[in-house]
Amino acid sequence: MQDVEKICELGRAVIETEAAMVKALTSRINIDFVKACQHLLACTGRIIVMGMGKSGHIGKKIAATFASTGSPAFFIHPGEAKHGDFGMITRDDVLLAISHSGETDELLAILPFIKRLGICLISLTGNPQSTLAKAAMIHIDVSVEKEACPLGLAPTSSTTAALVMGDALAISLLVRRGFTAEDFALSHPGGILGRRLLLRVDEIMHTGDAIPKVDLDAFLKTALVEITHKKLGMTTVVDQDNQLAGIFTDGDVRRAFDNNADVHQTVIHHVMTKNPRIIPPGTLAAEALRIMESHKITALIITNDQNNPVGVVHLHDILRAGLT
């Protein structure tokens, strides 16, 4: 048990140290941060992110966050930049260089080429007096008082600080650009996030002859046949103008039989559920799922402005679409 508690103490100490180092960054959100955001917003090319070692790993994540939140960006390895990849950078780009020491050889080696192109260089370093910090047009201080590593060697607090500052830049740009949830979904079309924000019931609902439908004066037997044939566990009930009057579900079937309803004599409007849950066309499938879950139902009717049923979406349709 002592071993268990000791390990837990070590884990908590790391988190507490890094949390304290991150909190200290709030004082660095100053005019330099504002200038960096302004240059990144004004960039007509791409945001190029560079870093070596652990800073490189952090740089890749920051570049990915920029790209997915409306600021075109990609990562270039500084070593590869010296061997041809620098040709990927244009005069319209902005370069974000990350180095804890500010003295990373591979980054310093390409400074003359950056100056020759005349592109804006923004640096994130832990040393405002470093060569990289002084060469940059804008420097953001991401220094930390101590690493979470008890040896003070493994980049821990320092890499976390750089990552958090990168997130602060990316999200500030997101808000200033007016980036919307739909814009975000367009950057993530293949995942659940994209499907949740893009998929609408119109794309998965049953329409036309596939809509279960019976008239108000139909007998219970007719409704049961329609439910069985359309396989959605329900049927809509419409009046003579094809306006929705109610719904008859599997649950209504059980209640009707509990009351000894005669399938040949019982008229559907006596046993249907009036005022069923409806949604308009264009509703997000995620919203349809939320309504189903909150009301413990398995199907929703989609109606137009004239209250005509134009579709039915079942819980299984949403599941097949991979929304959950």
**Same structural domain, 24 and 148:** yes
**Same structural domain, 122 and 222:** no
Is residue 194 in some structural domain? no
CATH of the domain at 287: 3.10.580.10
Q: Which of 43-47, 83-87, 163-167, 305-309 has the lowest average pLDDT?
A: 83-87
Name the burial class of residue 316, with classes exposed (0-12), middle (13-18) and buried (19+) by CB atoms within 10 angstroms of its CB. middle
Is residue 91 in some structural domain? yes
The answer on pLDDT for 195 being more than 80 is no
**Same structural domain, 227 and 281:** yes
- What is the CA 257 to chain-centroid distance, rounded? 47
Is residue 184 in some structural domain? no
Assess contact for 235 and 212: CB atoms under 8 A: yes
The answer on pLDDT for 185 being more than 90 is no
Q: Give residue-wise pLDDT tens across range 285-312.
A: 888 999 999 999 999 999 999 999 999 9
Assess contact for 201 and 281: CB atoms under 8 A: yes
The answer on pLDDT for 180 being more than 90 is no
The answer on pLDDT for 94 being more than 90 is yes
In three-state form (DSSP H/G/I as H, E/B as E, the rest C), the secondary structure along the chain is: CHHHHHHHHHHHHHHHHHHHHHHHHHHHCCHHHHHHHHHHHHCCCCEEEEECHHHHHHHHHHHHHHHHCCCCEEECCHHHHCCCHHHHCCCCCEEEEEECCCCCHHHHCCHHHHHHHCCEEEEEECCCCCHHHHHCCEEEECCCCCCCCCCCCCCCHHHHHHHHHHHHHHHHHHHHHCCCHHHHHHCCCCCHHHHHHHCEHHHCCECHHHCCEEECCCEHHHHHHHHHHHCCCEEEEECCCCCEEEEEEHHHHHHHHHCCCCCCCCEHHHCCEECCCEECCCCEHHHHHHHHHHHCCCEEEEECCCCCEEEEEEHHHHHHCCCC
**Same structural domain, 20 and 143:** yes
Is residue 134 in some structural domain? yes
**Same structural domain, 158 and 15:** yes
Domain boundary among 179, 212, 241: 179
Burial state string for 193-223 with b = 16 or more CB within 10 A and e = fewer than 16: eebbbbbbbeebbbeeeebbbbbeebbbebb
The answer on pLDDT for 150 being more than 70 is yes
**Same structural domain, 31 and 98:** yes
Identify the band that residue 177 occupies on the pLDDT scale cut at 50, 70 and 90. confident
Q: Give residue-wise pLDDT tens across range 26-63.
A: 999 999 999 999 999 999 999 999 999 999 999 999 99
Burial state string for 109-148 with b = 16 or more CB within 10 A and e = fewer than 16: ebeeebeebebbbbbbbbbeebbbbebbebbbbbbbeebb
Domain boundary among 147, 179, 211: 179
Assess contact for 132 and 162: CB atoms under 8 A: no
**Same structural domain, 44 and 174:** yes
The answer on pLDDT for 190 being more than 60 is no
The answer on pLDDT for 125 being more than 90 is yes
pLDDT at position 81: 85
**Same structural domain, 32 and 137:** yes
**Same structural domain, 160 and 207:** no
Mean local confidence (pLDDT), 1-7: 81
What's the CA gap between 96 and 175, in Å, rounded? 20
Domain boundary among 127, 144, 179: 179
The answer on pLDDT for 239 being more than 90 is yes
Is residue 190 in some structural domain? no
Range of the domain at 78: 2-179
pLDDT at position 286: 85
pLDDT at position 147: 94
For the chain, how many structural domains are there in total? Answer: 2
pLDDT at position 102: 96
Mean local confidence (pLDDT), 101-108: 95
CA angle, residues 36, 42, 45, in degrees to nearest 5: 105
Assess contact for 156 and 149: CB atoms under 8 A: yes
**Same structural domain, 207 and 261:** yes
pLDDT at position 151: 83
CATH of the domain at 134: 3.40.50.10490
Is residue 186 in some structural domain? no
Is residue 49 in some structural domain? yes
Is residue 188 in some structural domain? no
Identify the band that residue 283 occupies on the pLDDT scale cut at 50, 70 and 90. very high
**Same structural domain, 206 and 172:** no
**Same structural domain, 162 and 230:** no
